[in-house]
Amino acid sequence: MLPASNRMRSAPQFRETTRRGVRITAGAVVLHVLATTGDGPPRMGLTIGKSVGNSVARHRTARRIRAAFASRLAEIPEGSQWVVRALPGAAESRSLQGDVVEGIARALVKLESRG
């Protein structure tokens, strides 16, 4: 479970992260990452559209993504903002959690190379 302090809830934060952040596609998810100068906890938000499936499938997908993100929370830089968008087919993906972990690793490498 992802702590409440690590959840992104405001539309302006989502918009800023998706427009200004680095984009990584990994399997059934797309990650948008924005390294901010803030020193608060890293924040993550989810975007899961109806194309993923019905309500049950979307909520199950969200729980799986949050669990994968929470497992890597210690590696994620303070103050960063993350938006994870589930692509159609994510609900049936057996490698969804692996895709999220891979996306996080690739995003961290990309952020390091940008400085």
- H/E run at residue 23: strand 22-26
**What is the rounded average pLDDT of the residues 57-64?**
95
Does the pLDDT of residue 62 top 90, yes or no?
yes
**What is the rounded average pLDDT of the residues 28-47?**
90
The DSSP code for 87 is: P
User: CB-based burial of residue 31 (10 Å sphere; 0-12 exposed, 13-18 middle, 19+ buried)?
Assistant: buried
User: Among residues of the chain, what percentage have pLDDT more than 70?
Assistant: 99
Structural domains in the chain plus CATH codes: 7-114 (3.30.230.10)
Does the pLDDT of residue 115 top 70, yes or no?
no
**What is the rounded average pLDDT of the residues 48-69?**
94
d(CA 33, CA 5): 17
> In the prediction, which pLDDT does 43 show?
93
**What is the rounded average pLDDT of the residues 87-115?**
91
Across the chain, what does the average pLDDT equal? 92
> In the prediction, which pLDDT does 94 show?
92
> In the prediction, which pLDDT does 23 show?
95
d(CA 68, CA 98): 8
> In the prediction, which pLDDT does 106 show?
95
Order the strands of the 81-86 sheet from edge to edge. Answer: 22-26, 29-34, 81-86, 43-48
Q: Are 68 and 96 within 8 A, CB to CB?
A: yes
